[in-house]
């Protein structure tokens, strides 16, 4: 495989990994980064949580931090392995497939952790707060458009 082709594949994989990371840090991600309407914590702040609710939500996120950090490390490792496998001197379908599957599993685990957090946080909210959060999320989805 030519050096130019190898560099092109590596650049493509790096760009696609970055795009996947951005997609994974979307508004539904309670651990995401800020965006036009604020990150997930900003969405929660807009609900007028009581002190007790803020404490419970903080505990939910705090307790999950080690698992999220570990999963992010596994995702970064899987992405690096996929990039290396795809950009190698000789293309090895099995190695690329294994690395892609590892990346997929890591993304799945992150999604599960996020869903668990969201479910736990939702249980802390009043019915009115849940309705308001749902409305804000739906408004944001309309703003972002279909994926």
pLDDT, averaged across the chain = 77
Give the pair of three-digit tokens for residue 133: 């959060």
- Collapsing DSSP states into helix, strand and coil, what is residue 27? coil
Where is pLDDT greater, at 144 or 25?
A: 144
Which class for 145: exposed (0-12), middle (13-18), buried (19 or more C-beta within 10 A)?
Answer: exposed
Report pLDDT for 70. Answer: 94
pLDDT tens digit sequence for 39-95: 566 677 788 899 999 999 999 999 999 999 999 999 999 999 999 988 888 888 999
Report pLDDT for 37. Answer: 46
Which class for 27: exposed (0-12), middle (13-18), buried (19 or more C-beta within 10 A)?
Answer: buried
Residue that the structure tokens 């294994």 belong to? 98
In angstroms, the Cα distances linking 129 to 24, 43, 71, 132, 139 are 25, 11, 30, 5, 15
pLDDT confidence bin for 107, thresholds 50/70/90: very high
pTM, whole model, 2 decimals? 0.64
Give the pair of three-digit tokens for residue 100: 């892609």
Q: Kindly state the average pLDDT of the residues 4-28.
A: 42
100 contact partners, CB below 8 Å, separation of at least 6: 82
């Amino acid at each position: 495989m030519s050096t130019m082709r190898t560099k092109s594949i590596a650049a493509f994989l790096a760009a696609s990994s970055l795009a996947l990371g951005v997609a994974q840090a979307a508004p539904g991600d309670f651990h995401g980064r800020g965006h036009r309407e604020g990150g997930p914590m900003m969405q929660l702040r807009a609900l007028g949580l009581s002190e007790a609710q803020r404490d419970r939500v903080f505990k939910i996120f705090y307790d999950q931090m080690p698992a999220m950090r570990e999963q992010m490390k596994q995702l970064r490792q899987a992405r690096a392995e996929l990039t290396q496998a795809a950009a190698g001197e000789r293309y090895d379908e099995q190695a690329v497939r294994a690395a892609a599957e590892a990346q997929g599993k890591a993304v799945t685990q992150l999604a599960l952790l996020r869903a668990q957090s969201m479910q736990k946080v939702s249980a802390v909210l009043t019915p009115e707060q849940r309705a308001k959060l749902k409305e804000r999320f739906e408004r944001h989805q309309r703003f972002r458009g279909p994926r």
